[in-house]
Amino acid sequence: MPESSSPGLPIHGIFAEVARRNPLSPALVFGSERLTYSELNDSADHLAGILRREGLVRGDRVAVFADRSLETIIAFLGILKAGGAYVPVDTAYPGPRVALLLQECSPFAVLTTHELAGALAPSGLRIMITGDLLAARDAPQPHHDYAGPDETGPEDLAYILFTSGTTGSPKGVAVPHRAIARLVFDQEYARFGADRRFLQLASLSFDAATFEIWGPLLHGGTCVLYPGGSLPDPAELMACIRECGVTTAWLTSTLFNTIVTVKPEALGGLDELLIGGETLSVPHVRKALQLLPGVQIINGYGPTENTTFTCCHRLPRELPADLVSIPIGKPIAGTQVYIVSDQLQPVADGEFGEVLCGGAGLATGYWNQEALTREKFITPSFATPGSTVLYRTGDYGRFLPGGVVEFSGRRDDQVKIRGFRIELGEINAVLLRHPAIRDAVVVADRQQERTVGLVAYVVSGDPSLAAAAVQEFLGQHLGSYMIPSEILFLPELPLTVNGKLDRARLPVPGRDRPAVALLAPGTETEKLLHGIWSRVLRTEAIGIDMNFFDIGGTSLLSIELISEISKAVAATPRPLSVVHVYQYPTIRDFAGFLAPAGTPAPQAGLSAEDRAARQRLARQRNRRG
């Protein structure tokens, strides 16, 4: 472990040492913008000084409501230097959810931008515009590092990340400084160093961002901030990786599958690719190993409560012919993993049980939720002295020969979609707040093993209640990735003789189509697009005026759609990207977009107002990928 990671130093203390040794090395890259270590350190010092003069004291939380940018990373570091803890709040969340998260963490202030500040008013919170604070720097100041008003230590809070909660309210995972250090020091699951360039692609409110940001910055490497959204266009991703010399990236399993399907060469510039968030697809991994010989693929597993990674598995170039699932690997350094029975006793190797984990990466618990912390963070009798507290992951697995762990699923109704952890009970709780809904249940629906979707079964007292209205209501309270793609109305939920929900009797989703006429394609372009739409969505029951996102399309499938269209159409008005699926979400609209210049675009059967409303809902539902 390098000197900068010596015991007792918080994250910003480690960074300050790295910056002193590498003042002119590139720390951050964001499109055409660059910051050296010296510039990043000085900017964070300046911001820390402002926060302290405003009254921030050790342990205060500071929310960051901003998109990916140089200023956002400066904000994270400056908050730590001032002795506080940062709380990323996703800008894609609806207003009520943002308000709830801010209420839960009781921040000293909210750092944001001019463009986003209006979404926080009137909140009664101290709103600080990061850009203004940094732009107002006085010329030359004496250099000094802000280590925190009371010498922040490894056990102090570094950040809070909110995850889905079963009660209808999110729960904040409180992560200390030492957990971040454990993630990136003395590790062999990935390569760290001054010559490494990590891609920062994940949502800043997702724990993968911890690895993407602090992995390079605590070793003198470069953090390359992806200039687009968290759902990249494969061609743009390839350009970013190659132009910026990215060496290391992390993708959700679903995004990995999509890119391997439509443009695997986009990942060819990497030398290490970590994948996680969901179970890996063996066929997609085989294809990637074949087509990307220079890329080391790593399966990473871990709950937010154990700081990004608990186990990792560096995949060999050749997989066994009879391999059914990709192991999640061995515990990374500083981590303990146990497989236990329902009675919380270790099971024999090869037997399935619940996965418990502990070690230096463990969170201190859930913010302001002592009862839930006691329930999930336990001290079993068998724990070794170095792991007296263990986290109950709710995952099932077993130890294979050699100490490798195999994951086998969840023990409750928690699921992961595109890497985001979702408690189905939280969606249920929000559904039941709707005045017209008497009962509801949400289940996960695996759509032909390509993706995982959500289906809501709803019992309503209002026969006029429409699925779109239910989705819109959910969108006012939940993240877009938590909105079910299917809303099925039932006269009552099926029950067993014991009065419990009979899941086996729930009707199989039949993809209820919106009330739009099933109009057949007329032009040759429409017929071509209809065939592509049908292959991607795996159904031919598509009218040319149906919105792609209303009939099973997702932002990930839009990548596949654009890839297919690009292969089939010789000439297009301009290079195609997923943005065009949002702009022209029906076959008729897209055919009009592809029409030769000067040809009037066909008018869709939907009214402009209805089409605009549908596109707004689609963007909200799919923004997060």
Instruction: Please write the tens of the pLDDT for every residue from 197-209.
Output: 999 999 999 999 9
Domain annotation covers residue 152: yes
Please indicate, yes or no, whether residues 151 and 47 belong to a single structural domain of this protein: yes
pLDDT of residue 249 exceeding 70: yes
Domain annotation covers residue 251: no
Model confidence pLDDT, tens digit, residues 146-192: 655 557 899 999 999 998 765 567 899 999 999 999 999 999 999 99
Please indicate, yes or no, whether residues 445 and 556 belong to a single structural domain of this protein: no
| Rounded Cα gap, residues 110 and 120, in angstroms | 9
Please indicate, yes or no, whether residues 528 and 501 belong to a single structural domain of this protein: no
What's the chain's average pLDDT?
85
Please indicate, yes or no, whether residues 461 and 553 belong to a single structural domain of this protein: no
Least confident residue range of 74-78, 296-300, 341-345, 412-416: 412-416
Domain annotation covers residue 555: yes
Domain annotation covers residue 373: no
Domain enclosing residue 534, as ranges: 524-622
Check: pTM over 0.85? Answer yes or no: no
Please indicate, yes or no, whether residues 483 and 544 belong to a single structural domain of this protein: no
Number of domains, the chain? 3
Q: Is the peptide bond before 122 cis (omega within 30 degrees of 0)?
A: yes
Model confidence pLDDT, tens digit, residues 435-459: 898 888 888 875 544 455 788 999 8
| pLDDT at res. 504 | 76
- Final residue in a domain of this structure, among 160, 176, 192: 176
| pLDDT at res. 120 | 87
| Rounded Cα gap, residues 332 and 301, in angstroms | 10
Residues 6+ apart with CB under 8 A from 501: 441, 493, 494, 495
* CB 569 within 8 Å of CB 590: no
Please indicate, yes or no, whether residues 485 and 543 belong to a single structural domain of this protein: no
Query: How many helices (H) does the chain have, and how many strands (E)?
Result: 19, 26
Residues 6+ apart with CB under 8 A from 348: none
Please indicate, yes or no, whether residues 480 and 618 belong to a single structural domain of this protein: no
Domain of 575, CATH number, reads 1.10.1200.10
- How far CA 206 is from CA of 7, 78, 194, 220, 603, in Å, comes to 27, 20, 25, 23, 40
| Rounded Cα gap, residues 535 and 530, in angstroms | 9
Model confidence pLDDT, tens digit, residues 525-584: 999 999 999 888 877 888 998 888 877 787 778 888 988 898 888 777 667 878 788 888
Domain of 115, CATH number, reads 3.40.50.12780
Q: Can you list the positions of beta strands (E) in 335-436?
A: 335-340, 353-359, 365-366, 377-378, 390-399, 405-410, 414-417, 420-423
Domain annotation covers residue 433: yes
Domain annotation covers residue 495: yes
Please indicate, yes or no, whether residues 468 and 590 belong to a single structural domain of this protein: no
pLDDT of residue 219 exceeding 80: yes
| Rounded Cα gap, residues 28 and 21, in angstroms | 16
Q: What are phi and psi of 480, to 5 degrees?
A: -60, -30
Give the single-character DSSP code of 548.
G
Domain of 476, CATH number, reads 3.30.300.30
Model confidence pLDDT, tens digit, residues 65-113: 999 999 999 999 999 999 999 999 999 888 888 999 999 999 999 999 9
| pLDDT at res. 2 | 39
- Give the burial class of 619: count Cβ atoms within 10 A of its Cβ; 0-12 exposed, 13-18 middle, 19 or more buried: middle
pLDDT of residue 232 exceeding 90: no
Average pLDDT over residues 276-299: 91
**Which is more confidently placed, 282 or 187?**
187
516 Cα distance to chain centroid = 33
Beta-carbon neighbour count of residue 124 at 10 Å?
Answer: 8
Question: Which residues is 273 bridged to in the sheet?
Answer: 249, 297
pLDDT of residue 45 exceeding 80: yes
| pLDDT at res. 427 | 86
Average pLDDT over residues 330-358: 94
Confidence of residue 480 (pLDDT cuts 50, 70, 90): confident
Please indicate, yes or no, whether residues 63 and 147 belong to a single structural domain of this protein: yes
Domain annotation covers residue 366: no
Please indicate, yes or no, whether residues 481 and 561 belong to a single structural domain of this protein: no
Least confident residue range of 43-57, 561-575, 598-612: 598-612
Domain annotation covers residue 285: no
| pLDDT at res. 616 | 44
Map residue 506 onto helix, strand or coil: coil
| pLDDT at res. 505 | 79
pLDDT of residue 122 exceeding 80: no
Please indicate, yes or no, whether residues 477 and 583 belong to a single structural domain of this protein: no
Token duo for residue 160: 């809070």
Please indicate, yes or no, whether residues 462 and 603 belong to a single structural domain of this protein: no
| pLDDT at res. 619 | 43
Which of 43-57, 142-156, 511-525 is modeled with the greatest confidence? 43-57
- Final residue in a domain of this structure, among 476, 505, 534: 505
Task: Kindly state the percentage of the chain with pLDDT values over 90.
Answer: 51
